[in-house]
Amino acid sequence: MVSQTSAKFEESLKERPKKRPDKNRKLSWLLLAPVLAFFALLNVLPTLWMLGLSFYDYTLTSYKAPTFTGLTNYSDFVKNEQLSASVSRTFIFLILAVIAQTLLGILIGVFFWKNDKMPGRRLALTLFFTPMVVTPIATALFWKLMLDPTFGVVNYMLTSLGFSRTDFLTSSTLAFPTLIVVDTWMWTPFMALMTLAALGSVPKAELEAAAIDRLPIWRQITSVIWPHAKFILMLGILLRSIDAFKTMDLTYIMTNGGPGDTTELIALSLYRFAFKSFKLGYSSAVSVFLLFIAIALTAIYLYILNAKKKAEQTE
Amino acid sequence: MESPLFDIKLNNLTKKFDSFTAVNNINFTIPKSSVTVLLGPSGCGKTTLMRMIAGLEKPTSGSIFFEEHEVTRVSTRRRNLGMVFQYPVIYRGTSVKRNLELPLLSEGLEKQVINDRVHKVAELLGISDSLNKLVEELDNGTRQKIAVGRAIAREPNIILFDEPITNIDINSKLELKRSLKELFGRLSQTIVYVTHDQTEAMTLADQIALMQDGVITQCAPPSEIYSKPGNQFAGWFLGNPGMNFIDKKHLTKTDSTVGAPTLFSQTLRVGARARDVAVLGIRAESVSVSTKEVSGAKPARVLRKSLGIGGQYLLDLDYAGLVIKVRVSHAMGREVSDKVWTTVDSDNISLFDENGVVV
């Protein structure tokens, strides 16, 4: 009797949900449709168009119809020493800027985390995060003004302290480091925010247990803080890397790639090819290269997210 | 395991969170080398009290002494305690062995000593087979055992347990409780254990400190606190079901006797205490039940009959409007239909005054 009833019950369970998925599936596609259309129209299609264009010789100002040239654009790009220099300069910029921002961000994040009952903490945090929310173009403009050799406040301070006037943005040795400093000024708050979030993800009980167990500070970091904080911190570093790789506004406004090409980053080069020389075929090839780098970085990003999910599942 | 044995003395200890007083002027000594269970409902201040002993919470006022050393302002790491938290705390990405070793490594002990202690503790807790496993692979019960192991491996003077069984799945719960009982028998340290579960308290405690609204209302060994509750709260909180209370309007009093004619015919000789009695407390098992009329016994209507833990029956008996809960044997419970006759074991009756304090 019992087995019969349970068999019937199981059958009824099998039967019931059959109709639902079809209905649900249709509805879910319907709901997804606007987003998918939007994504296809504004993302997939232009990307495919760009990919196609990268195999053509096509310059808007030449009045010539696009001609298929195969991989010529790519081989030109590889052979172009200026562009290769620009790519390696971008990587140097990325590495130095992200390292500086991460280290400073961690220091500041830890400071705010440790002093969570400090009076005026909220105000200090709000002020500290201001650079991050200012439009990069505005940041670039006012830093350009501040660094101006004639009437900039920085040079005013330097001269009042007895130093000689320095033109930071036109000096071939100082322009690049100055850009890194400004980028660091702008984005350190972001890394500090990520550090705060990362430290906030460490369970209080584990920190208390570490104090009870009398673990030395470095062991607390390696055994308690890092296992929890690493995901958010690494995501922060990665997001910052992707962003630093695309840096364009700072260099465009502050130095316009100069002096010479000492601050010419790849995004600026791309801008020149596409919107100054209108070499659409060639700039598409460069874009495809950049796209691959962005995909590689995103793959790492997704890998970390996935690792975090797995770690959470084992909890 | 040898370590210096410490009494924990709490002097006028108070903790306020804004306007809420979690711990209210507690004066109490936790005796060395014993298991003291802080028992009470949620929000009674037991965890806050323990966290102050651990140094994880600063008292608003008052002081804490470990033996004669004042530790009120001493940091957690310098108090030399072990503590097991409500959620199993493990150090991730490492093996069980490494987890047990970590607190020992900072003590500057020799490798051999560390190794011996780790194995001894693992054996004590029955986790020797898991020593090389990654902690993430283990269930919550075993993780909590690791946390217990870490707390005892360092051989601290005092070990604190903050509801360590509460968040463990039901299967591991019993086993962990059994392990702890066995472990407490072997340890000589001062142990403080916080719980809201009376069964846990009854099983593990040498003495139970019952807390209510930030105050310790009674402290006594488990059997005593159960049979001689110091106040109505203790009578109600301990026992399943809690004590039955018969209030003034059902009582008859003389200068030296108290009776509850609605419930039973006998009068209790209580001497001068009779004057102060306002409430009478009867445990569910202190009432004898018969299905046949007994001379001198009171008849009651059976309102409800339910099967309790261990096969005993719980009866709700109605004595002309006064309802009390009674526990009877399985055989008697089956026999009971709609009417019973009861007598009360007068030795097991508690008397309380107007304020609910035992007289």
Per residue in A138-186, pLDDT (tens digit) is 999 999 999 998 888 999 999 899 888 888 888 888 999 999 999 999 9
CATH number for the segment(s) B8-236: 3.40.50.300
Secondary structure of residue B241 in the 3-state scheme? coil
Cα separation, B140 vs B126, in Å, equals 15
Burial class (CB in 10 A: 0-12, 13-18, 19+), A227: middle
Cα separation, B304 vs A209, in Å, equals 49
DSSP state of A276: I
Find out whether B183 and B27 touch, Cβ atoms under 8 Å.
no
Find out whether B216 and B226 touch, Cβ atoms under 8 Å.
no
Best residue in B83, B86, B90, B92 to probe A by mutation, most A CBs within 10 Å? B92
Name the A residues in 159-218 with CB < 8 Å from any B CB.
Answer: 203, 205-206, 208-209, 211-216
**Does CATH place domain B241-352 in 3.40.630.10?**
no
Residue-level length of chain B: 359
Type of residue at A196: L
pLDDT of residue A252: 92
Lowest mean pLDDT among A69-83, A87-101, B147-161: A69-83
Summarised one tens digit per residue, pLDDT across range B330-356 is: 888 888 888 899 888 777 889 999 989
Burial class (CB in 10 A: 0-12, 13-18, 19+), A158: middle
Summarised one tens digit per residue, pLDDT across range A293-303 is: 888 888 887 88
> Average of pLDDT values for B3-8?
75
* Domain range summary for chain A, segments of one domain joined by +: 72-134+177-313
Please count the residue pairs, one from chain A and one from chain B, whose beta carbons lie less than 8 angstroms apart.
62
Task: Tabulate helix, strand, coil % of chain A (nearest 5).
Answer: 75, 0, 20
Cα separation, B138 vs B132, in Å, equals 11
Structure tokens at B218: 């009674």
pLDDT of residue A1: 43
Contact A219 B102 (CB under 8 A): yes
pLDDT of residue B262: 85
* Domain range summary for chain B, segments of one domain joined by +: 8-236, 241-352
**Under the phi-then-psi rule, with left for phi > 0, alpha for psi from -120 to 50, and beta for the rest, what region is B12?**
left
Find the CB nearest B102 among A211, A215, A315: A215
pLDDT of residue B14: 94
Cα separation, B251 vs B50, in Å, equals 41
Contact A223 B102 (CB under 8 A): yes
Summarised one tens digit per residue, pLDDT across range A16-50 is: 555 566 678 888 899 999 999 999 999 999 999 99
Type of residue at B316: D
Cα separation, B344 vs B317, in Å, equals 13
Cα separation, B236 vs B217, in Å, equals 13
CATH architecture, range A72-134+177-313: Orthogonal Bundle (1.10)
Burial class (CB in 10 A: 0-12, 13-18, 19+), B79: buried
Type of residue at A61: T
pLDDT of residue A314: 59
pLDDT of residue A102: 96
The rounded percent of chain B whose pLDDT value lies above 70 is: 99
Lowest mean pLDDT among A189-193, A274-278, A295-299, B159-163: A274-278
The chain B residue lying nearest A203, using CA atoms, is: B89
Residue with tokens 């993780």: B143
pLDDT of residue A5: 52
How many degrees, rounded to 5, is the angle at CA B259 between CA B257 and CA B260?
165
pLDDT of residue B161: 94
Burial class (CB in 10 A: 0-12, 13-18, 19+), A117: exposed
Confidence band, pLDDT 50/70/90 cuts, at residue B97: very high
Q: What radius of gyration do chain B's Cα atoms show?
A: 24
Cα separation, B319 vs B344, in Å, equals 13
Peptide bond before A259: cis, by omega within 30 degrees of 0? yes
Summarised one tens digit per residue, pLDDT across range B165-211 is: 888 888 788 888 888 888 888 888 899 999 999 989 998 999 999 99
DSSP state of A41: I
Find out whether A73 and A282 touch, Cβ atoms under 8 Å.
yes
> Average of pLDDT values for A201-219?
90
Residue with tokens 């991460």: A102
Name the B residues in 49-88 with CB < 8 Å from any A CB.
Answer: 54, 56, 75-77, 80-83, 85-87
> Average of pLDDT values for A220-233?
89
DSSP state of A163: P
pLDDT of residue A3: 47
pLDDT of residue A132: 87
The rounded percent of chain A whose pLDDT value lies above 70 is: 91
> What pTM was computed for the model?
0.77
Residues of B within 8 A of A203 (CB-CB) are 87, 89
Distance between alpha carbon B153 and the CA centroid of its chain, in Å? 25
Confidence band, pLDDT 50/70/90 cuts, at residue A60: confident
Confidence band, pLDDT 50/70/90 cuts, at residue A77: confident
Tell me the average pLDDT of chain A.
86
Say if residue A209's pLDDT is above 50. Answer: yes
Torsion sign over Cα A293, A299, A302, A307:
negative
